[in-house]
Amino acid sequence: MATKEVKFSSSDLTKLRELTGAGMMDCKNALVEAGGDLKGAQDVIRKKGLDIAKKKSTREAREGQITSYIHAGGKLGVLLEVNCETDFVAKNEQFQSFIRDIAMQIAAAHPLYVGANDIPAAELAKEKEVFLEQVKDKPEAVRNKVIEGKLAKRYEEICLLNQKFIKDDSRTVQDLLTEFIAKIGENIIIRRFTRFEVGGN
CB of 80 within 8 A of CB of 66?
yes
Q: Are residues 47 and 91 in the same domain?
A: no
pLDDT of residue 1: 38
CA dihedral 83, 84, 86, 91 (to 10 degrees): -70
Q: Let me know if residue 104 belongs to a domain.
A: yes
Domain count, the chain: 3
Rounded to whole angstroms, the Cα distance separating 80 from 139 reads: 44
Q: What angle is formed at CA 72 by the lines to CA 66 and CA 77, rounded to 5 degrees? A: 25
- The boundaries of the domain holding residue 179 are 63-115+159-197
Q: Let me know if residue 25 belongs to a domain.
A: yes
Amino acid at 7: K
- Please spell the DSSP secondary structure of 50-110, one letter per residue: HHHHHHHTTS---EEEEEEEEEGGGTEEEEEEEEES-HHHHT-HHHHHHHHHHHHHHHHH-
Q: Are residues 98 and 128 in the same domain?
A: no
Report which of 51, 59, 58 is spatially closest to residue 85, judged by C-alpha positions: 59
Q: Let me know if residue 2 belongs to a domain.
A: no
Rounded to whole angstroms, the Cα distance separating 173 from 182 reads: 14
pLDDT of residue 140: 79
Q: Which residues of the chain fall below pLDDT 50?
A: 1-3
Most distant CA pair in the chain, distance: 71
Amino acid at 66: I
Q: Are residues 19 and 87 in the same domain?
A: no
CB of 82 within 8 A of CB of 67?
yes
Q: Are residues 99 and 69 in the same domain?
A: yes
- CA 143, 145, 150, 154 dihedral sign is positive
Rounded to whole angstroms, the Cα distance separating 187 from 105 reads: 20
pLDDT of residue 2: 42
6 vs 27, 28, 168, CA distance in Å? 13, 10, 30
Q: Are residues 104 and 164 in the same domain?
A: yes
Rounded to whole angstroms, the Cα distance separating 116 from 119 reads: 6
CB of 127 within 8 A of CB of 151?
yes
Q: Let me know if residue 4 belongs to a domain.
A: no
CB of 159 within 8 A of CB of 113?
yes
Q: Are residues 16 and 51 in the same domain?
A: yes
**CB atoms < 10 A from the CB of 3, how many?**
6
